[in-house]
Chain A
């Protein structure tokens, strides 16, 4: 099945099996997202990509594109909700952009710029979370985890290792590591793994690479996240 659908009044084509967000991306329309990544199994947890499809709210990253769908994404209400959801992610963890080595390359920060987020709006939770620096090459800072599940999917589906999983419930959710000690150093992860590179925030970092490019010259310092996301068009497996 392929054909066309309408998004914000614009008619675009879609291919068999494409989600709404992918059809939009291929047509040059950016729908903000954090847990979605081209070439990965859809997840649908961050809810930033919430759109109306034929009048019903749904996640654009999990909803299959279909002929003659009427998709609405660009409304003041949806943008406001995206801003609020992003602010929720900021207050849930401990995100201090000025002292974070991912600053400028962080998708959470990039989305926040895009949505013109000027404050955190909600009271901070300031949760007590750990840093796992046990691995010689990889740092795991739980303070910055937003539970997007990308590292879980990368390790399971791309690396075939199942290094990560998400445990707990509600606000007590936590990322866990598949090793008897629970530490990264005792897991099967290696620095070449896809799972070390998909983190949208600074939760998983490759050591000794944080400041190779100065802050100010980094990806989202130079480009809107919408441009970056749309340029991934021909690189589904990135």
Chain B
């Protein structure tokens, strides 16, 4: 143990900021963070042991109790559910003799659900020891179970089991654009850095992660800070359920993303870039490291980039450990500093006081990708596409009830109707645009458009047909927020758990008119008082489905004004079981009203 931990600490240069990396290594080796490792790490990094426990408990992929040597996690996104993830769980549980949420007695295998793994176009999907298992059809499930029973090392599993496809069904302005390495940097240097920033400004590029902050303003503000060093962070923590376009960009267009980061670094005066890669995309890590190495050899990273004296910049990859909240920029910075991903209090903004309390630009993968092409083609080229408030194109990750789930690039301003037609969706009941934190629209609103000013999305676009249950959708999303709430502030910590219970009461048929009013009021308290975007949007699945299909909620209610939350007869079930009787007298009628 000590030898292993010492080696890991040394590799992390004894930096407390790299605690996640250290704990990930310990987790991978020992299947959990053992008590003895906690003491060694605390001593080695000179941090309180409580910080290690707090981090280990915060992230879903770290554990204080041993997981199986084969740790199976099945994606629990609504689209994975629609593709039968419960059958996958049941089949694996039966074949491997392990409970869902448990570890088999011999420690060989553990099985559980996990938040969306970013494979909604090829679900039902899962992970084994962090590596993706897309398309879990029955034959594949049988094969997985057999490989585990035979204890075949993961490295010897057939490579096609882990094969992730990148189906691009529609390429537009950016995905079609030819590119050769170094082109954006050469153009930017030739044009001048201030002039290149002016082109980014002219393009009206807005952040692709969802919030839509103007990129040029962020870069300019950062460049004007006196504090140094400054940092460039690429937010590759694509956790919004239903989103997988960053997976595709990093898989197929990594050079263009890294070049966008390098252009940003030149403009803001940064020498250190970080990519925060979500744990679910571990399979991309080696590929990205190889791309970075190739770029160093091409003189596009490292010292004196493209021969420009004084411009040194390099990029490191840091892995997340399973926490949706770390997609929020300031939570991501906390995570990069080796802490639980709790969003910081603003002001100050991370542009002023970010990573290591220094000026930091945090941008989405797609934003850097777009910036690369804007640096080459100029701002007007980009601004000519889309709408005045939402220029350019947007990558959509389309999943759910359609014939062609995958990646689509559209100019902003495209109608939902057009998109549904292109992806082959019929008999649509509704569409979730922007993931659980976004907007649910009914089939009466299909002429609405994808744009910051109408339906804003970081890329998630989930289609539901008429066979789907609205409550199953809303409950999946609300459960997701309750699970992913960091728990820092009262309205989100307690409120999301209350929302989950109150929505379940109505969905289960125990709700009265009063309950629907209470639910709406609770939504407002959570939305209006929360610390960050997660809490502000956590009630959206209820608020927007209620707006689209109020009649479905009303049908679900009992016809009375009040229904007690307490079910007397159900509560007596345990007593009946113990007493081994089930006669009429063992049932009591609740006195209602």
Contact = CB atoms under 8 A, between A and B. Distances in A.
A210 B497 CA distance: 33
B54 A176 contact: yes
A170 B487 contact: yes
A168 B525 contact: no
Contact of B53 (A45, A173, A176): A176
Given A45-B531, A64-B347, A81-B528, A171 B487 contact: yes
Contacts of B39: 180
A169 B403 CA distance: 38
Contacts of A92: 493-494
B49 A170 contact: no
B496 interface: yes
Contacts, number: 112
B493 A170 contact: yes
Interface in B472-506: 482-491, 493-498, 501
Nearest to A180: B39
Given A91-B494, A147-B493, A45 B488 contact: yes
Interface string A148-173: 00000000000000101111111111
A38 interface: no
Interface stretch (A67-75, A82-90, A216-224): A82-90
Contacts of B485: 169-171
A46 B490 contact: yes
Interface string A27-48: 0000000000000001011111
Interface residues of B toward A: which range? 35 or more
B328 to A, nearest CB: 14
Interface in B317-340: 323, 340
B507 to A, nearest CB: 16
Interface string B344-375: 01010000000000000000000000000000
B102 interface: no
Nearest to B494: A88
Nearest to B51: A165
A113 interface: no
A167 B490 contact: no
B211 to A, nearest CB: 15
Q: Which of A85, A91, A147, A169 has the most CB of B within 10 A?
A: A169
B48 A47 contact: no
B388 interface: no
A178 interface: yes
Contacts of A147: 487, 493
A96 interface: no
Contacts of B521: 84
B138 interface: no
A81 B487 CA distance: 18
Contacts of A146: 490
A149 to B, nearest CB: 9
Contacts of B181: none
B495 A88 contact: yes
A167 B57 contact: yes
Contacts of A169: 57-58, 323, 340, 484-487
B494 A62 contact: no
B495 A167 contact: no
A122 B483 CA distance: 20
18 contacts: A47-B490, A48-B490, A84-B522, A88-B495, A91-B494, A122-B498, A123-B498, A146-B490, A166-B54, A167-B50, A167-B57, A167-B340, A169-B486, A171-B482, A171-B487, A171-B497, A177-B50, A180-B35
Given A92-B493, A169-B323, 13 more contacts: A57-B528, A62-B345, A81-B528, A88-B490, A125-B497, A162-B50, A164-B50, A165-B48, A168-B58, A169-B57, A171-B494, A173-B493, A176-B53
Interface of B: 35, 39, 48-51, 53-54, 57-58, 323, 340, 345, 347, 482-491, 493-498, 501, 521-522, 525, 528-531, 565
